[in-house]
Amino acid sequence: MPLSAALNTFAGNPLDRASYRRVDPEWIAARRADDTTLVAVFWNGLPLVKNVGDQGARLSFIGAPMAEAIAESEARWVFLGLDAEEMAVFAIDLDGSADPTASALLGHGQFGQLRELAPQLPAQEAAMAATGRAVFEWARRARFCGACGNPTEPAEGGWKRVCTVCAHQHFPRTDPVVIMLPTQGERCLLGRQAAWPPGRFSALAGFMEPGETIEEACAREIAEEARLETLSVRYHSSQPWPFPANLMIGLFAEVAPGDGAPDQTELEAVRWFTRPEIMEVLAGRHEVKPPPPSAIAHTLIRAWAEGSAG
Ligand SMILES: [Zn+2]
């Protein structure tokens, strides 16, 4: 039995996070001094990749000694975990305006946008990169204590920051987003945001709010955006979405009779589709264009149309 009904892009990180090792600074230091340790590299949130082309791309790992030489401070490291051979895998985050592949990382590949590279990367590498990126984006925003305003410093292999004055502990955020396909018997509803590429329709989505269950957030978003009443909610699968730190919770929502209407704030249009129409959309034979395959919305729409929604 697989863990999930679908393995969405950025899911399936193969590393053993070995979180018990994070609290062992001597072990972390020893792995960072170990020639066999692999280090993924980010520069301003962009992963270092190699072999970008028709055959796909790969993450470009460097050795720990080289990473030590180019990473200027403790703040730039995160321990990602152990691979199948028990080798430690870290990531470092570089910043500055000068592209490191023009100097220290010359010949080690190029930096690119993870969102665009994800379909080309092996799924497991995309998932590792998503983890690193999410932690670094959080660390970038958590440099100062939210409680007292003083600087924080990293701890536990980069998975925690501690205030240097009040000792408040800060942990990486993951902000849950509900993303759902409203259904009404044999038809489903897609919505369109004005900012999307021409023709694109997709599932509805919105941030969960404090004090809400997943089901309640789903029903609220459908009521707000499409003016429809939700009768029942079913979970399908989820997706880490590190832009910067979301967890997309994929759902099917059966709604009460009615055509609904776009709110004209989030959505400029809503439209109903039958299963055969959705198959035409997914096949590229329809005026409506689907979300890209890397998006969980695509997974949900396909699962419903193929009758494999579970
Ligand atoms: Zn503080």
Question: Mind giving me the DSSP string for 195-228?
Answer: TSPTTB-B-EEEE--TT--HHHHHHHHHHHHH--
CB 248 within 8 A of CB 296: yes
Residues 50 and 115 both lie in one domain: yes
Per-residue confidence (pLDDT) for residue 292, from 0 to 100? 95
Per-residue confidence (pLDDT) for residue 12, from 0 to 100? 94
Residue 277 lies in a domain: yes
Instruction: Write out pLDDT tens, residues 269-278.
Output: 999 999 999 9
At 39, which CATH number?
3.90.79
**How many angstroms does the Cα of residue 147 sit away from the middle of ligand 1?**
5
Residue 163 lies in a domain: no
CB 115 within 8 A of CB 9: no
Residues 206 and 298 both lie in one domain: yes
**How many angstroms does the Cα of residue 143 sit away from the middle of ligand 1?**
11
**Taking the alpha carbons of 62, 64, 65, 66 in that order, is the dihedral positive or negative?**
positive
Residues 197 and 281 both lie in one domain: yes
Q: Which residue has the higher pLDDT, 232 or 2?
A: 232
**How many angstroms does the Cα of residue 258 sit away from the middle of ligand 1?**
52
Q: d(Cα 38, Cα 203) in Å, to the nearest integer? A: 38
Residues 182 and 298 both lie in one domain: yes
Region 264-292: what's the mean pLDDT? Answer: 96
Per-residue confidence (pLDDT) for residue 74, from 0 to 100? 67
Per-residue confidence (pLDDT) for residue 96, from 0 to 100? 86
**What percent of the chain has a predicted confidence (pLDDT) above 70?**
98
**How many angstroms does the Cα of residue 38 sit away from the middle of ligand 1?**
33
**How many angstroms does the Cα of residue 145 sit away from the middle of ligand 1?**
5
CB 57 within 8 A of CB 151: no
**310: pLDDT strictly greater than 60:** no
At 294, which CATH number?
3.90.79.10
Residue 105 lies in a domain: yes
Q: Which residue has the higher pLDDT, 73 or 38?
A: 38
Beta bridge partners of 270: 191
List phi, psi (to 5°) of 167. Answer: 70, 10
Q: How many CB atoms lie within 10 A of CB 32?
A: 21
**How many angstroms does the Cα of residue 155 sit away from the middle of ligand 1?**
15
R_g (Cα) of the chain, nearest Å: 22
- What lies within 8 Å, CB to CB, of 151 at 6+ separation is 143, 144, 145, 163, 164
**How many angstroms does the Cα of residue 278 sit away from the middle of ligand 1?**
52
Residues 120 and 184 both lie in one domain: no
Residues 189 and 288 both lie in one domain: yes
Residues 196 and 109 both lie in one domain: no
**How many angstroms does the Cα of residue 141 sit away from the middle of ligand 1?**
14
Residue 148 lies in a domain: no
Q: Between the CA atoms of 127, 122, 87 and 89, what dihedral angle is there, to the nearest 10 degrees?
A: -40
**How many angstroms does the Cα of residue 76 sit away from the middle of ligand 1?**
20
Q: d(Cα 111, Cα 123) in Å, to the nearest integer? A: 18
Per-residue confidence (pLDDT) for residue 51, from 0 to 100? 87
Helix residue ranges, H only, the chain? 19-22, 25-32, 64-70, 114-117, 123-141, 214-226, 275-282, 296-305
Residues 224 and 294 both lie in one domain: yes
Q: d(Cα 281, Cα 170) in Å, to the nearest integer? A: 44
Region 9-20: what's the mean pLDDT? Answer: 96
Residues 179 and 298 both lie in one domain: yes
Region 42-65: what's the mean pLDDT? Answer: 92
Instruction: Write out pLDDT tens, residues 20-39.
Output: 999 999 999 999 999 999 99
Domain hosting residue 28, numbered range: 19-125
Residue 78 lies in a domain: yes
Residue 119 lies in a domain: yes
Residue 249 lies in a domain: yes
Q: d(Cα 219, Cα 138) in Å, to the nearest integer? A: 29
Per-residue confidence (pLDDT) for residue 41, from 0 to 100? 97
- What lies within 8 Å, CB to CB, of 189 at 6+ separation is 181, 182, 183, 204, 226, 228, 255, 260, 270, 271, 272, 273
Per-residue confidence (pLDDT) for residue 4, from 0 to 100? 86
Residues 86 and 198 both lie in one domain: no
Task: Among 91, 125, 159, give the residue marking a domain's end.
Answer: 125
**297: pLDDT strictly greater than 90:** yes
Average pLDDT, the chain: 95
Residues 180 and 298 both lie in one domain: yes
Instruction: Write out pLDDT tens, residues 204-262.
Output: 999 999 999 999 999 999 999 999 999 999 999 999 999 999 999 999 999 999 999 99
**How many angstroms does the Cα of residue 44 sit away from the middle of ligand 1?**
26
C-alpha 180: how far from its chain's center? 17
Q: Describe the crossing of helices 275-282 and 296-305 by its angle, rounded to 10 degrees.
A: 130
**168: pLDDT strictly greater than 80:** yes
| In the block, residue with structure tokens 């790992």 | 61
**How many angstroms does the Cα of residue 139 sit away from the middle of ligand 1?**
15
**pLDDT bracket for residue 44 (50, 70, 90):** very high
**How many angstroms does the Cα of residue 158 sit away from the middle of ligand 1?**
18
Residues 223 and 281 both lie in one domain: yes
**How many angstroms does the Cα of residue 171 sit away from the middle of ligand 1?**
13
Residue 82 lies in a domain: yes
Q: Which residue has the higher pLDDT, 109 or 308?
A: 109
Region 133-145: what's the mean pLDDT? Answer: 95
Per-residue confidence (pLDDT) for residue 100, from 0 to 100? 93
**How many angstroms does the Cα of residue 68 sit away from the middle of ligand 1?**
29
Per-residue confidence (pLDDT) for residue 194, from 0 to 100? 96
Overall domain count for the chain = 2
